[in-house]
Amino acid sequence: MAGENNANPDPAPLTGAPLTAAQVTPADIKLSLTAQTLAIDWQDGHRSEFELGRLRRVCPCATCRKERDTPPTSLRILNLPAGGGKIEVIDAELMGHYAINLKWSDGHNSGIYDYKFLRALDAEPT
């Protein structure tokens, strides 16, 4: 076992205890375009259900993060849906075994929602 080290410890979790592999590994994923919901059954038995509008508001892509971080010093034309907005998910794609990519009706498709992000989001208040 010589040469082993922990040079790459996991980054600190957002909140609380680190998530286990089973907690961030989907057993089943159901995307409903009619209901605009994403339901994930995790391997630890927990079920998460997200409104897609909520996922758009927390879109992790660089463009949306920058938009959310812009201080309100000037007029901002927001393209984020206010609750029940018209922007909907029209398609989605699994990214390997770690994330889901949502494609929106306004053409936005750079949001990659990794499973750790989604599981941590599930623990936050809506």
Q: Which is nearer to Zn ion, 29 or 61 (CB)?
A: 61
Here the tokens at position 27 are 């057993």
**Contact status: 89 vs Zn ion (CB under 5 A):** no
Minimum Å distance from CB 98 to Zn ion?
A: 18
Contacts 24+ apart (CB under 8 A), 80-83: 80/56, 81/53, 81/56, 81/57, 83/53
**Contact status: 64 vs Zn ion (CB under 5 A):** yes
Minimum Å distance from CB 83 to Zn ion?
A: 18
Residues in contact with Zn ion, shown as a per-residue x/- string from 23 to 62 under the rule CB under 5 A: ------------------------------------x-x-
Nearest to 119 by CA among 53, 37, 1, 20: 20
Minimum Å distance from CB 104 to Zn ion?
A: 8
Here the tokens at position 59 are 């879109």
